[in-house]
Amino acid sequence: MTNRIHPGIEKILQNIEKVITGKQEVAKLSLVALLADGHVLLEDVPGVGKTMAVRALAKSISAELRRIQFTPDLLPSDVMGVSIYNPRDMDFQFYPGPIMGNIILADEINRTSPKTQSALLEGMEEKSITVDGVTYNLEKPFFVMATQNPIEYEGTYPLPEAQLDRFLLKMKMGYPTLDEEMEVLQRAQKVPPIDDLQPVISLQELRQLQLDIKEVYVDESIRRYIVELSSHTRSHENVFLGVSPRGSIALMKASQALAFIHERDYVLPDDIQYLAPFVFAHRIILRPEARFEGVQIEDVIEQVISRVSVPIQRHVAKYE
């Protein structure tokens, strides 16, 4: 399979590679989400390089990185910003919060109260925030990478399903391999490479790429394939709640971005199949009995993919 990468994207990936060892897939998927104007939920334990990855990404695209460490006592105003009365001007002045940036790292998003969570998530969806009756548009591009610790559940506020839907992709970072970790150690002895990182693409260029991605052709057969996959998740025997139409849209957008990254102006079923687990996993709720039986969402998605027949002919609708 010829997997050429778009030259601009290639540079970003190389940049990230300089900092993070062996996490090309995470980097690529993050770029997919960034280009598709979506957001990413990283589910992983601390210390695997989430922050570093995001920082590298931000630096490569010369974007401003804001980090919000979510804690139970964090308030919405801590995220969005606050209006303070300025006695000199005899007026309220708005001090923007960390959300007013290009790339937001929302660390341990499930540790804060639903009130604060929804403030962020609303901004993610609307691309704008309203403080004291004034609406502020967020920066473009606006990209949130939220992390979630799957180990500790005590004192956490799990994100409601409706909120999870707002993330384009959910993925896991995973531990590096032995070799990779040794490489990490070796790099840690020197000056952190992140400081030397140069931007390879301007924000302006990135915005253009985001526009280009919308032009990637999605054939009718592909659209049908996406819809069939989604509807299969809804009728799957182990699934309590299947993928919503918003999930279908997400999959299409993500696949467009992926096709673009691979320098293609059309989407392949391969793109869909590659992305489906990342797009669908957090949008499916298993039946409790299936969960007790140890069924994994990933297995369900795999089954769905294997059951839905890939379109290989034109104008022939295939339903199962």
CB 268 → another protein: shortest distance, Å? 6
CB 23 → another protein: shortest distance, Å? 24
Q: Which is nearer to another protein, 50 or 262 (by Cβ)? A: 262
The label of the residue with tokens 């937001």 reads 104
Looking at residue 217, the DSSP 8-state letter turns out to be B
Q: Which is nearer to another protein, 81 or 311 (by Cβ)? A: 311
Q: Which residues contact 131 (CB under 8 A, 6 or more apart)?
A: 77, 80, 81, 82, 83, 94
Interatomic CA distance for residues 203 and 141, integer angstroms: 8
Return the H-helix or E-strand segment holding 19: helix 7-19
CB 262 → another protein: shortest distance, Å? 11
Q: Which is nearer to another protein, 218 or 284 (by Cβ)? A: 218
Q: Which is nearer to another protein, 54 or 297 (by Cβ)? A: 297
- DSSP letters, 112-159, are S-HHHHHHHHHHHHHSEEEETTEEEEPPSS-EEEEEE-SS--TT--PP
CB 301 → another protein: shortest distance, Å? 11
Which of 278, 222, 233, 265 minimizes the C-alpha distance to 32?
Answer: 278
Q: Which is nearer to another protein, 190 or 314 (by Cβ)? A: 314
CB 278 → another protein: shortest distance, Å? 17
Residues lying near another protein in the complex (CB under 8 A) are found at 1-2, 217, 219, 221-222, 265-270, 273, 305-314, 320
CB 32 → another protein: shortest distance, Å? 18
Interatomic CA distance for residues 176 and 178, integer angstroms: 7
- Report phi then psi at 136, rounded to 5: -115, 125
Q: Which is nearer to another protein, 122 or 270 (by Cβ)? A: 270
24: helix, strand or coil: helix
